[in-house]
Amino acid sequence: MNTADLGLPVDVPSTALFTDQYELTMLRAALKAGTAGRRSVFEVFTRRLPDGRRYGVVAGTGRVLDAVENFRFDADVLRFLREKDIVDEQTLDWLAQYRFSGDIWGYPEGEVYFPGSPIMRVEGTFGECVLLETVILSILNHDSAIAAAASRMSSAAGDRPLIEMGARRTHELAAVAAARSAYVGGFATTSDLAAGFRYNIPTVGTSAHAFTLLHDNERDAFRAQVDALGRDTTLLVDTYDVAEAVRTAVEVAGPELGAVRIDSGDLLLVAHRVRQQLDELGATRTKIVVTSDLDEYAIASLAAAPVDAYGVGTQLVTGSGHPTASMVYKLVARESGDGAPLVPVAKKSSGGKTSIGGRKWAARRLDADGHAEAEVIGTGPVPADLADRQLLVELVKGGEVVAREPLDAARDRHAAARAGLPLSATQLSRGEPVIPTEYAHEGSGN
C-alpha cells in the first residue's frame, strides 16, 4: 500500500521540492545541451562506515518508493519555480510532465551493507534520475543511520524488548521515520502514535512524572492510573522515593501489577533493589522497565540486571552519535550518444572521494559454515558461484513499483541478515567492517 494514499497529516502534497536547486539547474542545462535524455545509471553507496561500526543497515527503502511515486511538479510548485526564476519555460514544460519511468534496483530493506555496496541503483534518462538524488539520499541516510543504531541496541538487549520513545527529541516528521527505522532494526514498539497509525507499529505508553505530580500523593496517582488502565499497567516509581513507590504500587495494584518503570538513578543498582523488593512483596511477575538516556553501551551494561525492557529516546533518534550514513548518489555509467552502449564514468579526485565506474552487481560470499565472509562487487557477468548470492532486487520497473512489502518483512530480513554475519559483528568495541569488500572487475573471472 502507498502510504501517501492515506492522506495523513504527516504527508506533503509532493516530494518534488525535497531537492537541492542544482538538480534543477543541471536539468535545465542538460535540456539546452540535448543531453538530458541520455541513458544513465546512478548508484547509492557509502565509502566508509561510521567510525568503529562493523556493518550498516539498509532502511527507508519503502519510503523511497513512496517518494518516487509522489515526485510530481504540480501547479503550485511550478509557479514557485517560475516566480523565483530557478528554471526556464522549456524546463518548466518538461517538469510538468515528469513521471519517473526508469528502473530501480537495490538491497532489500533490512539487509546489511558495507563500504562500496551498491545499496541502490537508479536507471533511466539523466534528467529523470538526477532529480531524485536529494530525496533518495535524505531518506536513506537518515533511516539507515537510525536502523544501524537500533540494530546495535537490539543486539545488546538480546531477548529483552526495546521501546522507541524519541519523538520529543527530534523533528516531528523525522520522529515518524525514526520509529519506522527502529522497528526495522529490532525495536518492538513505539510511543509515537503517528508512527503507529502510518506504519502499524505496535504502540505503548502509560504515564509521565507529571501525572504523579498532578495528584496530592503517589497513592492517589497510582490508584487513578490502575482504575483507568487496569492492574496490568506500568507505574512510574522514581518521582519521589523508589522503595516507597514500589511498596505503594503493589498495595494499590496487587501482585498482578504489570510493570514498574525506572527513569533515573543508578539503573543497575536500582533495578536489583526493585526486583528484590517486588519479589518480597509477592509481585514476582511484575516486570521492570528502564529508561533514561540509554544507548547500546548502557543497555549492554545492564545485561546482568533484572531488567525486562528498555525505553530508548535521544540516542536512538540521533543515530547514537552517527546521525547520517554518509551515503552518496553518483553517476557511474551513461550512454555516449543516442542508442550507444553504456560507458563507465567516475569522479577522480584526491581526499578519498573517488568512485568506481560501471553498472554494478553485488553478492555476499559465504564460508563453509554459512556465514558471510566477503561482500563481492563487480561489473559485467556475475560469476557462477555467486549467481544465487546476489543482493540487489528489482524495486521499480518501467516507473512502476514492484517490490512494496509489509514492514515486518524488512524487520525479519534484518534479523536474518545480522544472524548471518560473523559473531564479531555484534561486538560493541570499535573495529573495522566485519567482512571485507572485494571488487571483481569485468573479465576477471573472480
pLDDT in tens, 318-328: 999 999 999 99
According to DSSP, the β-strands at 309-312 and 437-440 are unpaired
Give the per-residue pLDDT at 341: 87
**203 has which bridge partners?**
190
- Per-chain mean pLDDT for the chain: 94
C-alpha cell at 51: 567510525
Could you tell me which residue, 366 or 336, shows the higher pLDDT? 366
Is 168 within 8 Å of 313 (Cβ atoms)? yes
Q: Can you give the pTM of this predicted structure?
A: 0.93
Question: What is the percentage of the chain residues whose pLDDT exceeds 70?
Answer: 95
CA distances from 3 to 66, 370, 407 (A): 7, 37, 12
pLDDT at 7 over 50: no
pLDDT on residue 442: 59
pLDDT for residue 444: 43
Query: In this structure, what DSSP letter does residue 382 have?
Result: P
| Tens of pLDDT, residues 252-311 | 999 999 999 999 999 999 999 999 999 999 999 999 999 999 999 999 999 999 999 999
Dihedral of CA atoms 348, 354, 359, 361 in degrees, nearest 10, equals 160
How does pLDDT run across 124-141, given as a tens digit for each residue?
A: 999 999 999 999 999 999
Quick one: which H or E segment has residue 416? helix 407-419
Burial of 359 (0-12, 13-18, 19+ CB in 10 A): middle
- Please count the CA atoms within 13 angstroms of the CA of 320 that sit on its side-chain side: 25
3-state secondary structure 259-316: EEEECCCCHHHHHHHHHHHHHHCCCCCCEEEECCCCCHHHHHHCCCCCCCEEEECHHH
Helices (H), 97-171: 126-130, 133-157
The answer, yes or no, to whether residue 8 has pLDDT greater than 60, is no
pLDDT for the residue 440? 87
- 353 has pLDDT over 90: no
Model confidence pLDDT, tens digit, residues 27-62: 999 999 999 999 999 999 999 999 989 999 999 999
Q: What percent of the chain has pLDDT over 90?
A: 90
Q: Span 156-160, mean pLDDT?
A: 97
Are 330 and 118 in contact by the 8 Å Cβ rule? The answer is no
Confidence of residue 10 (pLDDT cuts 50, 70, 90): very low
Which carries the bigger pLDDT value, residue 323 or residue 11?
323
Run of H or E including 396: strand 393-397
Given pLDDT bands bounded at 50, 70 and 90, which one contains residue 339? confident
Alpha carbon distance 39, 102 (integer Å): 10
